[in-house]
Structure 1
Amino acid sequence: MTKQPEDWLDDVPGDDIEDEDDEIIWVSKSEIKRDAEELKQLGAEMVELGKNALDKLPLDPDLRGAIELAQRIKKEGRRRQLQLIGKMLRQRDVEPIRQALDKLKNRHNQQVALFHKLEQIRDRLVDNGDDAVAEVLNLWPDADRQQLRSLIRNAKKEKEGNKPPKSARLIFQYLRELAENEG
């Protein structure tokens, strides 16, 4: 066996390229796993959405098909399908999907907040009567005062008689119509 000179590594082709400009960013295995799990969770959120909500997301046909299949699968097969969706998401730019999903969630949260506000107004109408009617008329000037008073009167009778709150529901529906017509 012949002994090679110590400078034999200096003659390796391509060794003269300087790597100072090309910094390699090392990512830990744990970080890769966290990112994969995050994308898998994003996929699970998309699987829970309905067809109309999925239509609003920028999904390619392959990913859309995988999501629809996962919606039909139960138990262990679903887990494997979610892993496949996570893998598919790793190969794509997920930022537009995340933004669209956040927009959907925000719209849902705004709707829930509006419903809570309308429920509070309805409860004040039933409890306070005319004082609360003035508040509603300030919020929605085109509201029908006579219809509101009639619904409030019926709701109070139902509440006192321990009957189902049919009129209270009608008040809520009327308030929701007013809010939707405003916006």
Structure 2
Amino acid sequence: MRGRDEDTGDFLGPSRTRQRQAALDVLALGQQLVALSAAQLDKLPIPEGLRPHIAETQRITSPIARKRQMAFLAKQMRREDDATLDAIRDALDAGGEASRRETAMLHRAEALRERLLTDGDAALAELLAEHPDADRQRLRQLVRNAAEERAKNKPPHSYRELFRELRELLAHTNDESDGGLE
């Protein structure tokens, strides 16, 4: 209950205005989640208890019923701890930490692909030294085919496949390093 501490005169809890603003922030987050596709939702750290509520809200088309369901979804979301909601906000935020890490990994994969195509076997040997679990034969074949495509001005099939392989390799390495920190 709100009131003042008799000793210090400080308020005991957040004001109604702050509580209401927090509830409206959660409602706005819920509206963002409902606007996403199933594939986009799968990429977010959403607790399993909220997924059915989000799916139900997406299914409803009647404006009044949807508004009521949005309010219910927000109520369910307010039951989650602040860290969970902050993680969802960060993943949604285009400038968030998760997005920055993803972008950095894509840039590293692009730079690595270009280096493999320009330096050849020396860059490949260096890559394989850093990632011993990588498929040596597949990478060598993709580098050779991508260089050939570039020389003959053909469509970049192997070029794109090489990028996918490098991205998966870097993502796998990042997952292992993130798992070691926890």
TM-score norm. by structure 2 comes to: 0.60
- Output the amino acid matched with 1:34: Q
- The yes-or-no answer on 1:158 pairing with 2:149 is yes
- Aligned counterpart in structure 2 of residue 132 of structure 1, from 111, 123, 130: 123
Kindly tell me: are residues 38 and 118 of structure 1, through their superposed partners in 2, closer, same or farther at Cα, counting changes over 3 Å? same
Q: Shift of residue 53 of structure 1? A: 5.9
- Output the amino acid matched with 2:149: E
Partner of 1:57: 47
Identity of aligned residues (%): 36
- Output the amino acid matched with 1:82: M
Partner of 1:82: 70
Partner of 1:16: none
- Aligned counterpart in structure 2 of residue 69 of structure 1, from 19, 35, 56: 56
Q: Shift of residue 33 of structure 1? A: 3.8
Kindly tell me: are residues 33 and 144 of structure 1, through their superposed partners in 2, closer, same or farther at Cα, counting changes over 3 Å? closer
Kindly tell me: are residues 152 and 80 of structure 1, through their superposed partners in 2, closer, same or farther at Cα, counting changes over 3 Å? same
Contact 1:158 1:164 in 2 (8 A): yes
1:73, 1:146 → 2: CA distance?
Answer: 51
- Equivalent pairs, count: 160
* Structure 1: gaps (5+ residues): 1-18
- The yes-or-no answer on 1:38 pairing with 2:25 is yes
2:91, 2:116 → 1: CA distance?
Answer: 32
Q: Shift of residue 119 of structure 1? A: 2.7
1:37, 1:167 → 2: CA distance?
Answer: 49
Kindly tell me: are residues 93 and 168 of structure 1, through their superposed partners in 2, closer, same or farther at Cα, counting changes over 3 Å? closer
2:151, 2:6 → 1: CA distance?
Answer: 82
- Output the amino acid matched with 1:20: E
1:136, 1:119 → 2: CA distance?
Answer: 14
- The yes-or-no answer on 1:20 pairing with 2:33 is no
2:44, 2:126 → 1: CA distance?
Answer: 39
Bigger radius of gyration: 1
Q: Shift of residue 122 of structure 1? A: 1.3
1:75, 1:128 → 2: CA distance?
Answer: 60
* 3-state SS, counterpart of residue 6 of structure 2: coil
Kindly tell me: are residues 146 and 64 of structure 1, through their superposed partners in 2, closer, same or farther at Cα, counting changes over 3 Å? closer
Partner of 1:7: none
Kindly tell me: are residues 25 and 171 of structure 1, through their superposed partners in 2, closer, same or farther at Cα, counting changes over 3 Å? closer
Q: Shift of residue 34 of structure 1? A: 2.1
Kindly tell me: are residues 142 and 65 of structure 1, through their superposed partners in 2, closer, same or farther at Cα, counting changes over 3 Å? closer
- Output the amino acid matched with 1:85: L
